[in-house]
Amino acid sequence: MIKSIIPDIEAINNLIYIILDIGEIGSLVDIEHNPKVKESEAYMRWAKIHNLQEQSKTFNYMSEHGLLNGTQLDEELAALQTAYDQAKEEVKETEKRLKEVNRSLRLMGQYYRTKKVYQSYRRSSNKKSYREEYSSELALYDAAVKELRSIYSDGKFPPIQDLKKKKTELSSQKSEQYENYRDIRNQWMDVSRIVRNRDSFLKKQRDQERTESPKM
């Protein structure tokens, strides 16, 4: 099993019960910058109603879970952001290692397919003629050996079975890591949406208060 990469297990676990019932709270439409709003008055009316509905659901949700005051939601989002970034990096690192193993497997296959031709060339009494006849096979052999030596500087090439075993292990590890990454990403997206909706409403509220405040 893959060890969890979540930096603060307790913080994330405390948030899970909240995340589970986020439900169908949607993102707000950016009325000021959305091109559809400028093109269609009907869409603008729909967007305004949609935003009011989503803002209402957002604040009902936050009220039910005691998130209207304090910084808990922002702290949880920061923890999820860290976990999301780390999970993504782990998947990338495993993909990189898997790519390296696949490269070695390809080169080892090329090496063994052309090794007999190379051995026959070494035993040949007329190497020039033999190389001309089997130039493509020998070129593939030379290329495989050159690349393999750049990977394994000690000149000891690993058995294909060991590479296949490593590939299986890395493929399994990648699947587990990706599942973990996907779960964290979904949680991060849900909480991000709530935070954006909250911040959008609060900004609009502050702008309105500034507009309505009497000028000195």
Q: pLDDT tens digit string along 97-119?
A: 999 999 999 999 999 999 999 99
Task: Provide the mean pLDDT of the chain.
Answer: 83
Contact 144, 114 (CB under 8 A): yes
Work out the number of other CB atoms within 10 angstroms of the CB of residue 16.
10
- Residue 70: which pLDDT band, with cuts at 50, 70 and 90? low
- Report whether pLDDT(35) > 70: yes
Confidence grade of residue 23 (pLDDT, cut at 50, 70, 90):
low
- Tell me: pLDDT of 22 over 80: no
Q: Give me the mean pLDDT over the 20-41 stretch.
A: 76
On the question of pLDDT at 209 being above 60, the answer is yes
pLDDT reported for residue 44? 84
Q: What is the Cα–Cα distance from 5 to 89, expressed in whole angstroms?
A: 10
> Measured between alpha carbons, how far is 214 from 216 in angstroms, rounded to an integer?
6
Residue listed under structure tokens 């409403």:
201
pLDDT average, residue stretch 45-64: 79
3-state SS, one letter per residue, for the chain: CCCCCCCCHHHHHHHHHHHCCCCCCCCCCCCCCCHHHHHCHHHHHHHHHHHHHHHHHHHHHHHHCCCCCCCHHHHHHHHHHHHHHHHHHHHHHHHHHHHHHHHHHHHHHHHHHHHHHHHHHHHCCCHHHHHHHCHHHHHHHHHHHHHHHHHCCCCCCCCHHHHHHHHHHHHHHHHHHHHHHHHHHHHHHHHHHHHHHHHHHHHHHHHHHHHHCCCC
Global model pTM greater than 0.75: no
* Mean local confidence (pLDDT), 30-41: 83
Least confidently predicted of 36-50, 84-98, 171-185: 36-50
Q: Can you tell me the mean pLDDT for 138-167?
A: 96
Q: Which residue has the tokens 């019960």?
A: 17
Residue holding tokens 């930096």? 7
d(CA 181, CA 91): 8
Distance between first and last Cα of the chain: 66
Give the mean pLDDT of 80-86.
Answer: 93
Q: State mean pLDDT over 172-190.
A: 93
Written as six digits, the tokens of 28 are: 């707000």
The answer on pLDDT for 216 being more than 80 is no
